[in-house]
Structure 1
């Protein structure tokens, strides 16, 4: 969770690194070239600004950015609440990505389009979620897990496995 300005900068740097495997200097045209990364930057800004909305000026800045955040969420099809995702989040494509506000997502998670993450889901670090995956129930997914495309995950998954299918089953004991 972002607690101060240094955390905010670290999250931006790690999100950029997870997308490009290098840190890029953010330019104005990147907003149009990488709209999913622009969304993540606004998401992180909102998480940072939520700490300072107690003053009048802080509230005004927060709500101005809140409406911008909602607009880009609708345009890109993302529904990711604040303070759910840890650093290193990578949204590969824009499209329908829905995350419940009670879910938690660990570091360096890669999420493709048409993913739905339900209530009380706890996702570990380094998880790859393929396109169309549905994850729901009171479950825990371990670290370094690969979830195949169109999988339906409704039970706990241990670390360092590859899963796929409906319902999802372990198909490999190591990640790819």
Structure 2
């Protein structure tokens, strides 16, 4: 969660690294709509969490309009304060995330993904998570660090660190030798 301006700039920098972008320029607004969306998401998080003054509250309300519009245009339902730094949305398309979900740093997420509530509880995902297209994650589960989730998997139970999971319902299909490797 962004707690101050330093965090805000850190989140922006990590998100750009996740998209393999070294420097932001005006052309990026048109060349990379998902990163533009993420930058607006991070700005909203900063104003919601850090700027409690009158001007900050007004600017937060003003920013909600373009954020809502971009959410509709790109097919995202991504609330504030869910993802840690290093978020990479691969491309636009249907992505629906519950407000209470918590995801660690360095998450790469693809389209047609739904992370939601099950029996009143929501998932907690660790760091370095790869979520392939079509994945459904729900319930009060915990996904460990360095986990890759295969396409169209339905995840309804917890999994440990350093694994690749896939299937309906999801199960471990392999263990990662190296914590940084992505098998999918």
With the shorter chain as reference, the TM-score category is over 0.9
Residue 144 (structure 1) aligned to one of 131, 143, 146: 146
How far the C-alpha of 1:51 sits from its partner, in A, is 2.9
Query: How many residues of Structure 1 are paired with residues of Structure 2 in the alignment?
Result: 174
Partner of 1:10: 10
Structure 1 gaps of 5+ residues are none
Aligned 8 A contact 2:109 2:132 in 1:
yes
Please give the per-residue CA displacement for 1:131-167, whole angstroms capped at 9, x wherever unaligned: 0000001100000011000000000011101111100
- Three-state SS of the structure 2 residue aligned to 1:159 is coil
Partner of 2:95: 97
Structure 1 CA distance for aligned equivalents of residues 88 and 98 of structure 2: 17
TM-score (norm 1): 0.95
- Three-state SS of the structure 1 residue aligned to 2:172 is strand
- Three-state SS of the structure 2 residue aligned to 1:84 is coil
Relative to structure 1, the CA distance from residue 171 to residue 154 in structure 2 (aligned partners, 3 Å threshold; closer, same or farther) is same
How far the C-alpha of 1:52 sits from its partner, in A, is 4.6
Partner of 1:111: 109
How far the C-alpha of 1:54 sits from its partner, in A, is 3.2
How far the C-alpha of 1:53 sits from its partner, in A, is 4.9
Matched, 1:73 2:94: no
Partner of 2:28: 30
Partner of 1:153: 155
How far the C-alpha of 1:17 sits from its partner, in A, is 0.3
Aligned 8 A contact 2:4 2:50 in 1:
no
Structure 2 CA distance for aligned equivalents of residues 89 and 48 of structure 1: 16
- Three-state SS of the structure 1 residue aligned to 2:173 is strand
Compute the RMSD of aligned alpha carbons.
1.1
Partner of 2:169: 167
Partner of 1:87: 85
How far the C-alpha of 1:60 sits from its partner, in A, is 1.7
Aligned 8 A contact 2:3 2:50 in 1:
no
TM-score (norm 2): 0.91
Structure 2 CA distance for aligned equivalents of residues 52 and 112 of structure 1: 30
Structure 2 CA distance for aligned equivalents of residues 136 and 106 of structure 1: 16
Structure 2 gaps of 5+ residues are 177-181
